[in-house]
A and B are shown apart, each in its own frame.
Chain A
Amino acid sequence: MIILTSIIKNGLETQSDVPDELIYSISQGNTDAFETLYKTMKSSVYGYALSILKNTYDAEDVLHDCFVNIYKAAPSYRGNGKGKSWIMTIAHNLCIQKLRERNKTSDFPQDERELYLELPPQASADDKIVLEKCMKALSDEERQIIVLHAVTGFKHREIASILGIPLPTVLSKYNRSIKKLRELYNGGESDDQ
């Protein structure tokens, strides 16, 4: 049995998903529970937003708005043990909204903007290199798959469902992305596409 106080105290490191109890508790105004959720999921939300928007300012906006929306929408959350999917859906919708805002004057929201990365002081030079490699060497879909798996902890099957693509495609794109990153990291050749 999950004990809420233990989750709040110890965080969610051992949980495979966000427990429903935590969100129910947030719906009743428990700010400790909200902070626990924030600390656990902020990297996932921020990483996913950054993987789509390729701009740290926009990703920060999405991170902020996402958690405000979570707080507001917690009373309508309806369990099923899919808290993580619920949160990432909110994040996804905000990213789409952000893309639309960006592209109001253009027919196609899929822009070709320059990558913009401005990282906080706690991020090391090594972190910046890794993020730049993720952003530059991977396609949008590959990057989303990598972030959803490595940062958010979704299984490949869940990612296939979230992104609406076949599982074998997710597996092969994941493997291809990891291979690209490994080569880049080992100082080998970059992808040749």
Chain B
Amino acid sequence: MTNKQIEAKIKQAFDNAAPDSFDSVIADCVEQNGEVIFMKENKKKNVIYKYVAGIAAACVILVLGVFGFNYYSSNYAVDSTVSLDVNPSIEIKVNRNESVLEVIPLNEDGKTVLGDMNLKGSKLDVSVNALIGSMLRNGYLNDISNSILVSVDGKNSERSAEMQKRLSDKIASLLQTDSFSGAVLSQTIQHNDDTQSLADKYGISAGKAQLIQQIVSNDSRYKFEDLVALSINELNLIANHGTEDIGSVESVGTASDKGYIGESKAKEIALNHVGAAESDIYAYSCEIDFESGIMVYEIEFKCNGFEYSYDIDAVSGKIISGEKEKDDDVKPSSGNAGNTGNTGNTGNTGNTGNTGNTGSSKLIGADAAKSAAFKHAGVSAANAKKVTCKLEWENGRQVYDVEFDCTGYEYSYEIDATSGKIISHDREIDDDYTFPSASAGGTGNTGSSNLIGADAAKSAAFRHAGVSAANAKRITCKLEWENGKQVYDVEFDCAGYEYSYEIDAVSGKVLSHEKEVDDDYKSSSAGTGNTGNTGSSKLISADAAKAAAFKHAGVSAADAKRLTCELERDDGIQVYEIEFDCAGYEYSYEINAVSGNIISHEKEIID
């Protein structure tokens, strides 16, 4: 039975086992949400509203034109809205001259901060100074909660960006106090109906809504509604625990965690609960996170053959949850060994630290493992990026898990830690790869001199799709503005699929991509029995594919047992999946059905 057949059986079993309780689900949804609104009926009404709204908008524009639009827009029209969020949220609306038209507190704390100050007519800088001073005096910004979010929503993107930078710098300097330093998050937002409707729904500023959207977008564990109640300092803490990048939000300074028990205390609580000493544990990690409505320290570590995972209330230190699982990677009979050998990042740990290894065999070391991986991949060590090498237990033996990126691909290797043999390997497109631009170093989006050009954008898309330019049909490439940055929208068809890409026009990075079945596609090779890989290309025969696999494996066809060969479509290309056993090993191959190239292969000992 092949892997695909087993997968199909599993899928069928779960499909049949899953109950169909849609009626019960929809009944509960309707009960909770009130009446269900059907789209089709609404559309008719919307058309009328749209006409009315359109006529009304036209009238307003006409009136403004008659009575002097320029004078109005310079002095009375809102040019930019600046929002300051800590827990107090305040919006400041200014005209084109940056004179304050209105200051709106968005919550009770905002009202406290504003007090009886009348800032109308003041300059923006002066008003911000006054509001920050009030936040400090009222204790909203202090060494426990030191983060503030500044958001600029303006008509002119360049002016907004300049205002964001200026205000961010100013506030950062105001928050350099004797007792603490502030952390300033800043962003420029464009008017966005989605963001605004969320802001209105939850009674928060558009700026905070945008920040939460960024966090949710970066980490799908979070839900928008769960994060609404958090202060900016808490959002800053959970958003920055792993990386500094919060989408387009710029971050200066470090969010304070002084309101919490601290990592070392949380670790101590977890260790006490297990009854382990610090020296007993390894593979330790700690993150501050937001779980089930509270801030927690997420602590994970391994100890004595078990993996532990704790959520500890960041304020009270109470253990919210703890999990203990058998560590599959630890050899059962290894006694107390393996603690120091598990990091595997330094070249010599293998020889001295891996007392859990069988017998007296020595490990090759991380450097040798990495070298073996580089050699196999045809990559020089100097060109490999984000190299990681971890020593793990797998199937009762120690292996090095080696991962690295190089020129648009992510490589993963499993290498036998004793023999140095490659057990498995994988190469995938690196979605985050930045295509080298013609003018390297340009980070700004302004102007067109830094753009990579349509050809480079198309190449980046083809490369990501694994499609050759010659096989792509109906190619279009348009330069567009998207969320304040220039992007190339690249679309093309190939082998029965429609591809759509958004490529950053400056960095060449693939921002989004989509691949859909082309309903209009007609296989050009139907007559030959080949179901269309590249239009006119013919497939190699199954025998040729098997021969390629045997040759690569160094196995003669006569010696191969339990041989299977199936033609499959994988990621838009047709491949032969070949499996066979020989001399105690199980071999698996994926072979491009057009070119005959080996896409992936694996060799495993038959237990």
Contact = CB atoms under 8 A, between A and B. Distances in A.
Given A43-B11, A82-B220, A149-B7, A76 B25 contact: no
Interface stretch (B142-150, B340-348, B388-396): B388-396
B21 A29 contact: no
Contacts of B194: 78
Interface string B213-224: 100110011011
Interface string A50-62: 1000001000100
A76 B14 contact: no
A14 B319 CA distance: 45
B588 to A, nearest CB: 8
A107 B405 CA distance: 41
Nearest to A149: B7
B383 interface: no
A169 B401 contact: yes
Chain B at the A interface: SS class: mixed
B7 A150 contact: yes
Given A72-B29, A166-B390, A168-B413, A123 B17 contact: yes
A68 B29 CA distance: 6
Contact of B18 (A34, A63, A169): A63
Interface of A: 2, 14-16, 25, 28-31, 34-35, 38-39, 42-43, 45-47, 50, 56, 60, 63-64, 67-68, 71-73, 76, 78, 80-82, 85-86, 89-90, 92-93, 97, 100, 107-110, 119-120, 122-124, 126-128, 130-131, 134, 139-141, 146-147, 149-151, 156-157, 166-169, 171-172, 175-176, 178-179, 181-182, 185-186, 192
16 contacts: A14-B517, A56-B17, A63-B21, A76-B198, A78-B213, A86-B220, A97-B292, A123-B13, A130-B10, A151-B10, A157-B428, A166-B390, A166-B412, A169-B392, A175-B602, A175-B604
A35 B21 CA distance: 10
B60 interface: no
Interface stretch (B257-265, B321-329, B526-534, B547-555): B321-329
Given A81-B514, A157-B428, A168-B424, A31 B390 contact: no
B221 to A, nearest CB: 6
Contacts of A171: 412, 414, 424, 426
Contacts of B390: 166
A112 B393 CA distance: 24
B20 A31 contact: no
A29 B11 contact: no
A156 B424 CA distance: 14
Contact of B33 (A50, A63, A72, A126): A72
A14 B194 CA distance: 29
Given A122-B16, A167-B403, A178-B3, A39 B11 contact: no
Nearest to B16: A123
B38 interface: yes
B47 interface: no
Contacts, number: 203
B13 A131 contact: yes
B29 A25 contact: no
A167 B194 CA distance: 36
Given A76-B223, A76-B225, A60 B19 contact: yes
Interface residues of B, number: 76
A78 B28 CA distance: 24
B604 A78 contact: no
B465 to A, nearest CB: 13
A64 B323 contact: no
A14 to B, nearest CB: 5
B424 A46 contact: no
Contacts of B602: 175
B6 to A, nearest CB: 5
A96 to B, nearest CB: 8
B321 A30 contact: no
Contact of B39 (A28, A63, A81): A28
B277 interface: no
A150 B413 CA distance: 23
A16 B569 CA distance: 13
Contact of B6 (A38, A56, A73, A182): A182
B24 interface: yes
B14 A80 contact: no
A17 B322 CA distance: 33
Contacts of A86: 220
Interface in B1-46: 1, 3, 6-22, 24-26, 28-29, 32-33, 36-39, 42
B273 interface: yes
Given A73-B224, A110-B323, 17 more contacts: A15-B516, A29-B36, A35-B26, A46-B14, A56-B17, A63-B18, A64-B28, A72-B29, A72-B32, A76-B198, A76-B225, A100-B292, A120-B16, A141-B328, A166-B401, A166-B403, A171-B412
Given A109-B321, A127-B12, A168-B414, A119 B17 contact: yes
A30 B39 contact: yes
Contacts of A128: 13
Nearest to B26: A31
A131 B6 contact: no
Contacts of B224: 73, 76, 78
A68 B25 contact: yes
A178 B601 CA distance: 16
Closest 3 CB pairs of A and B: A29-B37, A46-B18, A47-B14
B538 interface: no
A179 B399 CA distance: 20
Contacts of B36: 29, 31
Contact of A151 (B14, B19, B20): B14
Given A30-B38, A171-B424, A178 B6 contact: yes
B595 interface: no
A78 B217 CA distance: 7
A146 to B, nearest CB: 6
Contact of A93 (B7, B26, B221): B221
Contacts of B220: 82, 85-86, 89
Given A68-B32, A78-B213, A168-B424, A185 B14 contact: no
Given A31-B26, A38-B25, A151-B11, A176 B33 contact: no
Contacts of B9: 126, 130, 185
B16 A147 contact: no
A147 B14 contact: yes
